[in-house]
Amino acid sequence: MIFKKDNVKLGILIGLLAPSIGLLGYYLVKFYPTFSFREYMVAIFQNKSVLTAVSSISLMANVIIFTFYINRKIDQTAKGIFLITCIYILAVLVYKIT
């Protein structure tokens, strides 16, 4: 089962997918059906305050999954998730600063 594997590559994959699911979930709860997904993505990148809210929600998905793997002592996968989370945070910070 995928939840019992312990390797960094799996953690990286999960770390990339979870924020995408969080991004989609935030869209469905907050913006659908008023805005199309394309309008939503344009608004995120044009309005940096919206980017903060969306990235926070997206990263929450990673935090939940990271906690799940840490509590089960599946540390290598958790490392991959943590690595991608840090990269994601840095990318958002750099984008907001520039």
DSSP, collapsed to helix, strand or coil, labels residue 47 as coil
pLDDT band at 3 (very low <50, low <70, confident <90, very high): low
Task: Look at 80 and 96; give whichever has higher pLDDT.
Answer: 80
Tokens 């608004």, located at residue: 43
Contact between 21 and 92 under an 8 Å Cβ cutoff? The reply is no
Contact between 83 and 66 under an 8 Å Cβ cutoff? The reply is no
Task: Look at 65 and 1; give whichever has higher pLDDT.
Answer: 65
So what's the pLDDT on residue 75? 94
CA–chain centroid gap for 65, Å, is 10
Per-residue model confidence as pLDDT tens digits over 10-63: 999 999 999 999 899 989 998 899 999 999 999 888 888 888 888 888 899 999
pLDDT band at 4 (very low <50, low <70, confident <90, very high): confident
Distance CA 33, CA 19 (A): 21
